[in-house]
Structure formats: C-alpha cells, structure tokens
A and B are shown apart, each in its own frame.
Chain A
C-alpha cells in the first residue's frame, strides 16, 4: 500500500468524524466541527441529526458552507426554528453531543473563545462565545477540536467562555450545570479524553508520526498518559476521498 498523504487538519477532521455515531444528535459549532459533522454524515452516520444555532435541525447540507446559518447549511432541513428554540431543545435533552472549537482548552476541558490576556485589556480579542457556551453547557457530552500548541492547551485558560469540569471533580454540579461535560478532545497530535476520578485530560491515542512524549511537549500542563494509549488509525482513502471530493472540494478549509 502506498503511503497516504494528508494535512494535519484533514487528520483532525477524520479522527473527529469517527467519534460521531449514526442516530445521534449533534449540536455543531462553526469551523472544524462543521467539516467533521459533514464528513461523518457522508461516511458512517447518514442518520446523524445535526443541530445548528441559527435554528436549522437535521438539514442535508451541500458542500462546505460558509456559515453555520447560511442556505447551504440549512438546505433541505425539515424544520428551521429560532436560535433560542434550538438551545432550548438542547436543554430539554435533544442534543447528545456538542461539537466545538475554540482558542484554548485547559486540563479540565474549559474552553476560551473570548480573549487572550486579561479581559479588560486583551492582547487578542477573539470572537466571543457565540453558541459555544450553550453547546458546552446544555449538550449531554462535548467534543472539542483544535490545533495542539502549548499556549492553546494551557493549564488554565485566560478566560473561561465554555465550561468543562471548571475547577475539577464536582465542578459542574456545584455550578448547576447539566450534562456530562467534556468527553473527547481532538488535536492534530492526538485524541484525548478525561480521567473519571480527577477530571483531568488524558491521552487516548497519538496520531501517526507522533509519540506520547511529543503530545506532552506541546501541552501546557501535565497530560495523563495511561499505559493503554494507542496510535490513531490513519485517515482511510475513503475518508480522504469524501473529504476532498464532496465535503471540501475547493480545499477551503482542510488545506
């Protein structure tokens, strides 16, 4: 077999798509998650029900849309509600998975999408929450996707926009939050989960060409590395073909 070539973003998207199951409902945030959700639907999860914050539920999106609200995303949706309604439906229990990106994620799975540096005088002002906080607060469990760098995986986020386990075990319950919280983190170096007892981020698999040591080097906190970590399977030819030909044919995002 010839060696399959792929970009870091393609690997992230393929690894993330595998985590979505057929028949689940997934609240999809913008950016990489949108690409992952479109790929999963074309691969193994044709009956996955996507929810978008503009109000569209279960559409059949065309190739990579520009926005989670645009007409390519909402295409053929059987119902288009309002923003407050779809978040209400999540809180009611209709969102199994929240699928998110962000600028930073810390050891307890808290996510920052607001600012780098102090809030009042930020070095970088980011977009703000958008639907991210609601997706993380109201879905049953949460998948995060992003690039893996020490400053993007700090011990503590500069600002907590979306809740993970907050300050650790019991944090969500004390704050009054619903849902199980963070479940998986996909980066271009590996797939992470969270330790049941300590709620700290742990490595589940490292991507081809990477070692657990490299993943640790690019993480700004001590990553738990269990003995049973494995190598992430490479993207398959079928995954890459669908991604390149049907999901993102113009290589707008998975460059």
Chain B
C-alpha cells in the first residue's frame, strides 16, 4: 500500500480511477454509518470541505471518529474538526493552508501534535494556492502559474510547488500542481438520490474538490426529488457522476453553520474550543462523551441540549432562529423541496 502522499498528485492514476466510476443514475442512498465504513479507508487523504465549520460535514467526521479510522492524511483549506482525531490515532499527517477557528484561535489538538512532532505537516500552502491546486484538477490542467507565495518561506517548506519563470515575460511565478485527494465528504442542503447536490451560501472549493477527489460522499440536509434539482440546476455544486454515496443527515453540519438553516452552536463551540480541547485530557473527555458516548448526530444533539437543560427540539429551534433567511442566498424561497418546518419533525423522528 502506497502512502496517500504518493497518490496525491498522480493525475494518471486519478483519471484511471474515475474512468471506472459509474455514470448511471444509480440510487446511491445509504446510511452515514455504511458510507463511512465503505468509503473511508485507513490511510486515505481526506480533504475538508465547506469552510471548515461552515457547511462542513460534521456528522460524517464524528462517525469517522466513532469507527476509529486510522492514519488519515488531512488536507485543510481550511480545516478543523478532523485534526482532533490525531490524538486517537485517526490522523497521521496534514497538508495545511489553515487550521484554526479564526477569532477563537488555534485548534489545540493540532497544535499539540505538531509541536510534539507526532503529527506531521507535510506541506504548508496559502488558501489561494491550495484552492488553485484543486481548481487545476477540476479544469484539467497539469499545473497553474500563480503570483501567490512568491518570496516567502512557504516556497521553501512546501515540497510540491516550484518557482519558475513565466516563459512569456520572464517574471518569477509559483507553479502549483493539480491535486487529487483520495476522499471528500461534502455536506449540502439538498441532494437527489443520485448525488446531485445543491447549496445556499458559499461553495468555497467544493465543486473543484468533487471533481478532484477519487471518492466523494455527499451528506445532505434533505433528499429531494430529482425533478426538483433538474428544474433549478444553478445552485448545484456537486454533479452526480462524481458521487459514490448519498446520506440524508439533517443537522449534519451541526455544531457548525448551515447557511439559511441553522447558525453555529456558539455556546457548545466555545466550550469545546476554549476549554475541552485545550488539554489532552479535555480532548479525551470530549471524544469519549460526545463522540464515543453517542451513536449518531441526534444522540449528540440531545446530549448537548441536556447539558443546557433544554428540550432537544427547542434547542435546534434556537439555532434556527439565528440563521439568515434563505432569500438572502440567491433564491426567493427554499424551492420545491424546501419548506422550512420539515426539519423539526425529521430531527424529532430521529431523536425518538
């Protein structure tokens, strides 16, 4: 078995892989548990999607933790939650553009791993450069010539990029090769059973990632009819032919932000980031209580609600009230499949 890094820039092998994927409109629905068991393999390179905690497939990352997947190599542009698996053997190394929680600072488990030398940083990138690497894969070019990263230590500490001269102008340029991660899990608002995925809000890098990655799992807030997708293809960011599995996971981005549906679970996030993750013991407590102590996203939601002394349905309603209206994301309404009230019922059903 080769190391994930040896596959990462192998465009021929990535193409061979994709030539074998089905193009048929196949029903790819399965449970999140089964999708993670089947498509997340020990040693895979896993690229985080969305903007870490914004429209990130949190439920899937928690399930990866529960199934104790080993030695993943993270690709973070940006990244967050999956760095935590390092302290439980889940993450072996990382390609990093950004790992953090912005105003709330560093992700302590990642920091501890790198400082102790147990978590390898294989390469450092800028967001722009890593997004171009994925975009190169999507656009079908071997590499791109960029004006980012020049003159800085990023050029020295990233073994994959090269400085060269623009053959026309003679100016220095940074050459960035196309990247092909093993695995991406993308959380969307709506998907049909074939994997066409639609979002509101920022795509960030996800269309490029869907095409670049070998294996793609789509988790969605709601499965909708394919006719609904076909009647409005403009917000579809993941095409079905890239997708291997589709899982309906309402509240799948919790405790992160899902544009238009629910906002960050700010109290829980503060507690995790500023307190629990600060120490290895706290991180272990977090892992054992919230991840291993629950079987799925809904048990975890119920646990968080119980911590706050609130009924679980009221708890999710509070998060919903902070969300921005859908009409601010390019559509007058939630579309054919998008009436708002269904979620409470779906969550309630799963909580029973």
Q: What per-residue 1/0 map shows which CB atoms of A156-189 lie under 8 Å from chain B?
A: 0001111100100001101111100000000000
Give the chain A neighbours of B110 by CB distance below 8 A: 125
Q: Which residue of B lies closest to A176 (CB)?
A: B172
Contact call B124/A114, Cβ cutoff below 8 A: yes
User: How many Å from the CB of A124 to the closest CB on chain B?
Assistant: 7
Contact call A131/B153, Cβ cutoff below 8 A: no
CA distance A110 to B154 in the complex (A): 13
- Residue A55 contacts which of B98, B111, B204, B264 (CB distance < 8 angstroms)? B204
User: How many Å from the CB of B76 to the closest CB on chain A?
Assistant: 8
Chain A interface SS verdict (over half): loop
Contact call B53/A67, Cβ cutoff below 8 A: yes
Contact call B263/A72, Cβ cutoff below 8 A: yes
CA distance A34 to B103 in the complex (A): 10
Give the chain A neighbours of B131 by CB distance below 8 A: 82-84, 87
The stretch that binds A, out of B144-152, B220-228, B308-316, is: B144-152
The stretch that binds A, out of B30-38, B295-303, B323-331, B344-352, is: B323-331
A126 is an interface residue with CB less than 8 A from chain B: yes
Contact call A82/B157, Cβ cutoff below 8 A: no
B115 is an interface residue with CB less than 8 A from chain A: yes
Give the chain A neighbours of B111 by CB distance below 8 A: 124-125
Give the chain A neighbours of B53 by CB distance below 8 A: 66-67, 70
Given the interface contacts A74-B201, A159-B153, A160-B153, does A132 sit within 8 Å of B103 by beta carbon?
A: no
- Residue A84 contacts which of B114, B128, B257, B329 (CB distance < 8 angstroms)? B128
Give the chain A neighbours of B277 by CB distance below 8 A: none
Contact call B328/A75, Cβ cutoff below 8 A: yes
B268 is an interface residue with CB less than 8 A from chain A: no
Contact call B264/A70, Cβ cutoff below 8 A: yes
B276 is an interface residue with CB less than 8 A from chain A: no
B62 is an interface residue with CB less than 8 A from chain A: no
B59 is an interface residue with CB less than 8 A from chain A: no
CA distance A133 to B97 in the complex (A): 10
Give the chain B neighbours of A82 by CB distance below 8 A: 131, 135, 202-205, 207-208
Contact call A67/B257, Cβ cutoff below 8 A: yes
A119 is an interface residue with CB less than 8 A from chain B: yes
A residues 44-76 in Cβ contact with B at 8 Å = 53-56, 62, 66-72, 74-76
Contact call B117/A133, Cβ cutoff below 8 A: no
- Residue B151 contacts which of A72, A126, A130, A171 (CB distance < 8 angstroms)? A171
Give the chain A neighbours of B257 by CB distance below 8 A: 66-67, 70-71
- Residue B103 contacts which of A31, A122, A162 (CB distance < 8 angstroms)? A31
Q: What per-residue 1/0 map shows which CB atoms of B159-175 lie under 8 Å from chain A?
A: 00000000000011100
Q: What per-residue 1/0 map shows which CB atoms of B225-239 lie under 8 Å from chain A?
A: 000000000000000
Contact call A128/B208, Cβ cutoff below 8 A: no
Give the chain B neighbours of A128 by CB distance below 8 A: 76, 96-100, 124-125
A residues 210-225 in Cβ contact with B at 8 Å = none
A42 is an interface residue with CB less than 8 A from chain B: no
B85 is an interface residue with CB less than 8 A from chain A: no
Contact call B98/A71, Cβ cutoff below 8 A: no
Kindly name the residue among B98, B146, B171, B207 whose own CB sees the greatest number of chain A CB atoms within 10 A: B98
Jot down 26 A-B pairs with beta carbons below 8 A, ordered by A: A31-B103, A54-B204, A55-B204, A66-B266, A69-B52, A69-B54, A70-B259, A71-B260, A71-B323, A74-B259, A74-B329, A82-B202, A84-B135, A84-B205, A114-B154, A122-B114, A130-B98, A132-B126, A133-B128, A134-B129, A137-B150, A159-B157, A160-B152, A161-B154, A175-B172, A178-B147
Q: What residues of chain A have their CB less than 8 Å away from a CB belonging to chain B?
A: 30-31, 34, 53-56, 62, 66-72, 74-76, 80-84, 87, 91, 110, 114, 119, 121-134, 137-138, 159-163, 166, 171-172, 174-178, 252-253
